[in-house]
Structure 1
Amino acid sequence: MDFSTIDRALTSLSRRQPPLPEPVLAVSQSLLALLSTNNETHNHLAESREYAHGILKLIELGSSKAGSGDESSAVRWEPLAVGLRLTVDYLEKRTSELPTSTSTASNNQDDDDEDEGTGLGTGGGGVYAEGPRIPKIADLQINGTSSSSASVSEKVSSPPKANSPVFELLLALPEIINNDVEHSEPRVRSLVAQTVGAYALYSSSLLNYQLDIIINNDQDEDPQLKQTIQTAQQGRASIHNAILSSLQSHLQMREPSRDNNPSKASDGALDDTTGWRALETNLHALASFIDGCVGKGVVEFDGEDEGGSNVSYSGSYMLEEERLFSNEDEENRWFLTGLQHCCVLHVNRHVRAASAAVLGVLVKSCMRCRSSHGKDGNYHENLLVEDDSPFRLTLKESLRATLQDNWSQVRMAGSVLCRRFVTALLKIYISHNHNGEEEDEELTVFELAAGDLVQMLLPRMCLNRFYLAQGVKLYSQDTWKIIFGSSHNAAEGEEGLHSSGKSKGGGGMGAVARNAAPLCRYYSKMCDADNHAVREAGCQGIAELAQKVGKHPLYADYLSPYVTMLLQALLMCFHDESWPVRDEACLACGTFCIAYPEECTPELNTLFERWTEQLTDQIWSVREDAAVALGDSVVAYGQDMFEKVLGVVRKQLPAAKDQPAMSREEYKKLQNDVSAHTGNQVYSCGSLAPKLRKGGAGRIGCSSCLVDRPKAPWEATDGCVYLIRELCVRFPDKEDTEREDVVLGDDILLPIMTELADVCRLSHYPQSDDLRTTLWRQLPSMAQAMGKKRFKGKYLDLFVELLAKNIDDRYSVASQLSIHAAGQCAEELANLIGYGIFRGRLAAVGGEDAFDRVMDDRKREQQMAHVAANGGRFLGAAKEFSPFGPPPVTA
């Protein structure tokens, strides 16, 4: 089924197998004809009673025996789903046609500026309910009005009429929703939630319209319209009660046991990965209802009081004061208790994410109600800011759990809730301190506004900026920018800690430094988490602390007492079976040695042992980063460490000579051995197979490292290539060295480079091409660091013959990666030394023709890239377009 548009939803009914009954197909064709006629004649469907009746007929056919008279035929859910989808679209359009003075957006001056939409169709900002993706943040409010409302204001608006077909639909919907809120088909339940939101939004807009008439003392008010609007409010109250009743009954159901890890038991694993009855969609329906009510929820109806007594500024009456603070009736407080249970303890991830969405719209509703009259506004504000408020306590515990949930989907929902809650606190604080009242200039506005929540929120917000899931990471980085501002010094694609002179309290870096204790404890705990992605993010966060806080002249002392604790956490990660975790731990330790050399000295021997182990790892990026960390250690500890590193280079550089001989054919045969790949365990992200483990204990990850090949001798040589590059780049001569007492002179470097050239000439093993690929990728950096004169005079001749041979692969012996890397290296060296000089050196060994071919090929590649980037004359592309989608349409 395709629910993306109403036309596609209707069309998909005719394609269902087995075919749907004839009455269903006839109604769908009739509705398609009405839609086609409406598009051609530009008529509105608002007054088309046939269209509204057709929607109700579809819903009826999906709720009975399809009207066929055959009692044995099964009820098909597809007509009901399509009917609900048409209902959502119909109510949205009717809402947009109401007078602009009753527009829900225009009546919410205190709404969230960062209002995320998710395509639920409620039109009131949306509920984050459709999976782990970044919510829309493009429709930001401009001068108090969102872009979506601005587009609505351009449409012709008209007051509702008492005999409009929409009211027939509103009259029938409460019973339909009440019957199908626990439907067995999840897609129907999801559409019921969307219908609830659309119903609540339209009925709330009608209520605004009626209140405007009362305020303006309009004597021409239609009594029949007034009664119809009041009936719609009764229906809204009925829907709210039905949802809450269903929600309460599902919360009372027994969950499977969660002893230790739920995935260890089949029942726990099943309930942890599939939809859990109707509880999830009940939560989404409630969230959609509250969001659609735009700050006005129905408590009870009294038609004698001009329609005013049916208005509650709670959004959901479960937030009323007598329900939250009553000590006599425990049953009245089940709502927040149930939501907290769903967020923190429920076995099902979908339920945990949905309950976070409900809390998010409740925060949004409280912010909408701040502008109401008298005590109502103060009451809802206090729900968010008072330390002992039950709602704030529920938010605190829910954020504590969801922001560190093992599932990215739940972590994303928690991140959305976190942004909404924190921005609400900031707005409240600023609104009370905008008159220049005395403030603590040593703290950021976030610290002042969040109060006791800072030590819980800040570590989780920091770590999620490094989380593996791109949605969580990018959204959390945007949240950081919203709270603390952008960093002009941050690297492209990375929004790290920063200290802006315009930022009060030192910005994000100042906040992190002042809260170093809880942050370091949390990072250390996450380095031992069950999830390998969390451990990796923890190592990255620790590295950021060392890089930015540790090197800051004002804040370095804040982190100093916790260096030992952080180092112990990182040393633990060196034994991780997940290589990205080992990689990040390796880099972080090197950064700490530069920032805090004295504090790291007691662990230096252990660190050096771990770094040299990583230098021979099976993963090339781990080897490279181990070389970077060893270079950091030389910067931190000087000549003594330099001598130790040189000893490692001299010892391990010739290791490739010990690589067992093997032909390329034998290697391919080994890789394609059918018996070696038959009957083994299949692993995937959703499997119940053994996972990545931390230090031998059971952990949760995406694959298994239980089967691990031994390290190969050539990999030690490959790691030394990276290490030689680090030494050349960091300590080339006395003028450019990163440490005055360390210089890599020719007396040391020339024998090493000679040995490197000799060992790279070996070809008795198939991985020799990989080693040469590493050499060609690193050699230009070494040459650039040594300088043109020095490299050309003493080192170029060592590699020129091998380079020419690799470029001119006449017999297709070398791999394409090594050939390409050799060509790239030749181009860069020619640019450094001079094209003519370099070509002359190659001519001496017979490589000038191959060099010319390579340079011609690269020239053509650059020309094509230039064409694509400047007009796209041949590709028809715009100057800039995303590689993940089609180029934008140009005028």
Structure 2
Amino acid sequence: MSLPNDKAREVFYPELLPRMCLNRYYVAEGVRIYSQETWRQVTGTAGKQLVQKYISHTVDYYILATESDNHAVREAACACIAELASKIHPQTVQPHVERLLNTLLVCFQDDSWPVRDAACLACGNFILSFPDESQAALPSLYPMFFRNLEDPIPSVRQGAASSLASVVRAYGQEALAVVMEKVTAGLKGVRNQPADSERYLDLDHSQATFGVVKRLRDNDPEVHSDKQMYSCGSLAPRMGRGGCSDPKFRRPSQPWEMADGCVYLLSELSQIPDLCRSVSTSLPLVGEACHYHHYTHHIMFLETVCKQLPLIAKGVGKKVFKSIVEEFLDPVFYALECENTLTSSAASQCLNQIGNLLGPNILRAKVERHNPKYLHHLDANVFIAPF
């Protein structure tokens, strides 16, 4: 900023701008906020134009950053690549699409779940913005999308659902057939869920997610004594691209987690007007999956259903949802009365939102016809503040 004019500053832009861009997405909040403000001061309202002007330097640096040993840098790089697809003029990015997609395919297999999640979302952006250029990568992308859809991390499942919805938006009925086949199998798979849906002592030590390993090691004094100091915002500063600091741990996904991801996916698909019928025909499978209470984490699945059901209802429309709402009354009132605060709160808000959509009198009539015993819970719920 102290240089006399724009021409003097532009000498340094090819090296500085890509690095400044990436730091705007860095996980450490202080670095992120400082970098965002610096970007505003340096570029003003011309940030987008400057990125387009130096697109080759920007792409080269982003790809280099995905090879960093620091997982936070790799995650930020994937977020920046996603930004290129969604914010920069397509003609500017188009010559670099193949290189960027190949880079994302590598990041999609990263053992760090935030990197996988960021790569997944970035792939969805590229498919939506560059459907023709991305189509050749679909055979490789579909298995990765579906693997993220059943990931043990809820936010990863949600990100996969968003990206798969982008695939359907880009490729229409052909993609919808592939996706709905997976949704049907995933929702039906809950019946095969073991009763102990997660046993930490029986953890498969061939691989595991960082969160599961953390719970196993939290009370080990040696883990917290005389160890390396980590930098702000980086959980593992020397973590390689192949995985976390202990890559031999990873818990396999559970059937209920796949079903949970399918609920997120139906919620995303319901926002596409042409797919209302396809989504509505799958809702009975969601209702059926909600009735399986034999496994420990069924309350987490019900929480997801309660949070997504109002969105699905708005997507498919009042008329369609009114005809099938009774299939969800038992699960929602079960969730309302359960001891888990988050699930109970989600059910409470679900009832209020569905009541607002259908009309409180219509919902009350549906509840009374289905099970009059639920009426006092419905009436009491009106006066309960959301958690």
Structures share fold, TM-score greater than 0.5 = yes
* 2:14 corresponds to 1:473: no
d(CA) in 1 for partners of 2:127 and 2:142?
11
Show the counterpart of 2:303.
773
Q: Which residue of 1 aligns with 2:84?
A: 545
Shift of 1:611: 0.5
For 2:377 and 2:367, the matched residues in 1 are separated by 9
Aligned to 1:6: none
Matched, 1:832 2:361: no
Where do residues 505-524 of structure 1 align in structure 2 (5 Å cutoff)?
507-524=46-63
CA distance, structure 1, for counterparts of residue 54 and residue 64 of structure 2: 16
Q: Secondary structure at the match of 1:635?
A: helix
Deviation at 1:662, TM superposition (A): 3.4
Report the CA distance between 1:801 and its aligned residue: 2.4
Alignment of 1:720 with 2:262, yes or no, is yes
Which of 483, 500, 505 is residue 42 of structure 2 equivalent to?
483
Tell me the residue number matched to 2:329: 800
Correspondence for 1:315: none
Determine the C-alpha separation between the residues in 1 that align with 2:331 and 2:78: 40
Counterparts of 1:50-69 in structure 2, within 5 Å, are none
- The answer on whether the counterparts of 2:276 and 2:316 sit within 8 Å (CA) in structure 1 is no
Higher RCO (Cα < 8 Å, 6 or more apart):
2
Q: Could you tell me which of 531, 535, 551 is aligned with 2:70? A: 531
Call closer, same or farther: CA 1:557–1:834 in 2, change over 3 Å. Answer: same
1:528 maps to amino acid: E
Residues 667 and 531 of structure 1, relative CA distance in 2, 3 Å threshold: closer
- Tell me the residue number matched to 2:192: 658
Q: Structure 1 residues 781-790 or 510-519, which shifts more?
A: 781-790
Question: Which residue in 2 is equivalent to 1:424?
Answer: 2
1:570 to partner: Cα distance? 1.0
Query: d(CA) in 2 for partners of 1:565 and 1:831?
Result: 48
Instruction: Report the CA distance between 1:693 and its aligned residue.
Output: 3.3
Unaligned regions of 5+ residues in structure 1, if any?
1-422, 430-444, 486-502, 550-554, 734-742, 863-891
Could you tell me which residue of structure 2 aligns to residue 710 of structure 1? 252
Query: How far apart, in 2, do the equivalents of 1:806 and 1:620 lie?
Result: 19
Distance 1:689 1:451 in 2: 35
Question: 2:209 aligns to what?
Answer: none
Q: Secondary structure of 2:12's partner?
A: helix
- Report the 3-state secondary structure (helix = DSSP H, G, I; strand = E; otherwise coil) of the residue aligned with 2:2: helix
Please list the CA deviations of residues 515-550 of structure 1 after superposition, one character each: whole Å capped at 9, or x if unmatched. Answer: 11010010011111010110010001001111101x
1:210-243 CA distance string (max 9 Å, x none): xxxxxxxxxxxxxxxxxxxxxxxxxxxxxxxxxx
**1:11-160 alignment, distance < 5 Å:** none
Give the direction of change, closer, same or farther, for the CA distance of 1:538–1:669 in structure 2 (3 Å limit). Answer: closer
- Residue of structure 1 aligned with 2:318, choices 782, 788, 810: 788
Go from structure 1 to structure 2 and tell me whether the alpha carbon gap of 1:681 and 1:713 turns closer, same or farther (over 3 Å shift): farther
Deviation at residue 690 of structure 1 after TM alignment: 10
Hey, what's the Cα distance between the residues in 2 that align with 1:670 and 1:848? 43
Q: In the aligned structure 2, how far is the partner of 1:453 from the partner of 1:575?
A: 34
Q: Is the 8 A contact 1:667 1:766 kept in 2?
A: no
1:459 to 1:669, Cα distance in 2 relative to 1, 3 A: closer
**Alpha-carbon distance between aligned partners in 2 of 1:720 and 1:626, rounded to the nearest angstrom:** 10
Q: 1:710 to 1:563 in 2, by over 3 A?
A: same
Greater fraction helix: 2
User: Which residue among 220, 223, 234 is the counterpart of 1:682?
Assistant: 223
Deviation at 1:691, TM superposition (A): 5.8
1:680 is displaced (CA, Å) by: 8.4
In 2, Cα distance between equivalents of 1:681 and 1:582: 30
Partner Cα separation in structure 1 for residue 280 and residue 228 of structure 2: 49
> What pairs up with 1:256-405 in 2 under 5 angstroms?
none
**Residues 823, 854 of structure 1: 8 Å contact kept:** yes
1:601 Cα deviation after fit? 1.6
| Distance across 1 between alignment mates of 2:259 and 2:379 | 31
Paired amino acid for 1:852: D
Q: Which amino acid aligns with 2:332?
A: L
Matched, 1:570 2:97: no
Residue aligning to 2:210 = none
Match for residue 556 of structure 1? 90
Counterparts of 1:557 and 1:469, CA distance in 2: 33
Note the alpha carbon deviations across 1:47-92, whole angstroms, 9 max, x for none.
xxxxxxxxxxxxxxxxxxxxxxxxxxxxxxxxxxxxxxxxxxxxxx
Partner of 1:217: none
Amino acid corresponding to residue 157 of structure 2 in structure 1: R
Q: Does 1:856 align with 2:365?
A: no
Please give the alpha-carbon distance, in whole angstroms, between the structure 1 residues aligned to 2:162 and 2:222. Answer: 36
Pairwise CA distance, 1:566? 0.9
Report Cα offsets for 1:153-200 as digits up to 9, x if no partner. xxxxxxxxxxxxxxxxxxxxxxxxxxxxxxxxxxxxxxxxxxxxxxxx
Cα distance change, pair 749–540 in 1 and its aligned pair in 2 (3 A):
closer
Output the CA distance in 2 between the equivalents of 1:477 and 1:561.
27
Counterpart mapping for 1:689-768 below 5 A: 692-695=239-242, 704-730=246-272, 732-733=273-274, 743-745=275-277, 748-768=278-298
Find the counterpart in structure 1 of residue 211 from structure 2.
none
Q: SS of the residue aligned with 1:459?
A: helix
Distance 1:541 1:681, change over 3 A: farther
| Amino acid in the other structure paired with 1:662 | D
- Residue 483 of structure 1 and its aligned partner are, at CA, apart by 2.2
Once residues 92 and 216 of structure 2 are traced to their aligned partners in structure 1, the CA distance between those partners, rounded to angstroms, is: 54
Shift of 1:806: 2.3
Quick check: 2:69–2:238 contact (8 Å CA) kept in 1? Answer: no
Specify the structure having the higher radius of gyration (Cα).
Answer: 1
The residue type paired with residue 725 of structure 1 is S
Whether the 8 Å CA contact 2:162–2:268 is kept in 1: the answer is yes
Alignment of 1:126-275 (within 5 A): none
CA drift of 1:695 comes to 2.5
Contact 1:458 1:512 in 2 (8 A): yes
- Give 2:17's aligned amino acid: L
Q: Which moved more, 1:835-844 or 1:570-579?
A: 835-844
Equivalent pair of 1:662/1:766 in contact (CA under 8 Å): yes
Q: 1:536 and 1:669 mapped to 2: Cα distance?
A: 31
1:667 to 1:593, Cα distance in 2 relative to 1, 3 A: closer
Shift of 1:676: 6.1
| Alignment of 1:633 onto 2:180 | no
Does the aligned pair in 1 maintain the 2:71–2:237 contact within 8 Å?
no
Q: Is the 8 A contact 1:576 1:693 kept in 2?
A: no
Q: Is the 8 A contact 2:121 2:163 kept in 1?
A: yes
| Partner residue, 1:457 | 16
Partner deviation per Cα, 1:655-675 (whole Å, 9 max, x = no partner): 211111239xx969989xxx9
Rounded Cα–Cα distance in structure 2 between residues aligned with 1:854 and 1:838: 13
Q: Structure 2: give runs of 5+ residues left out of the alignment.
A: 204-214
Give, as a single letter, the amino acid of the residue that structure 2 aligns with 1:721.
Answer: V
Contact 1:692 1:705 in 2 (8 A): no
- What residue in structure 2 maps to residue 872 of structure 1? none
Describe the superposition over 1:431-482 as per-residue Cα deviations: whole angstroms up to 9, x where unpaired: xxxxxxxxxxxxxx4xx33233111011001101111111111111111111
Distance in 2 between the 1:679 and 1:797 partners? 49
> CA–CA distance in 2 between the matches of 1:785 and 1:576?
34
| Alignment CA distance shift 1:615-1:676 (3 Å) | closer
Q: What CA distance in whole angstroms lies between the structure 1 residues aligned with 2:97 and 2:236?
A: 37
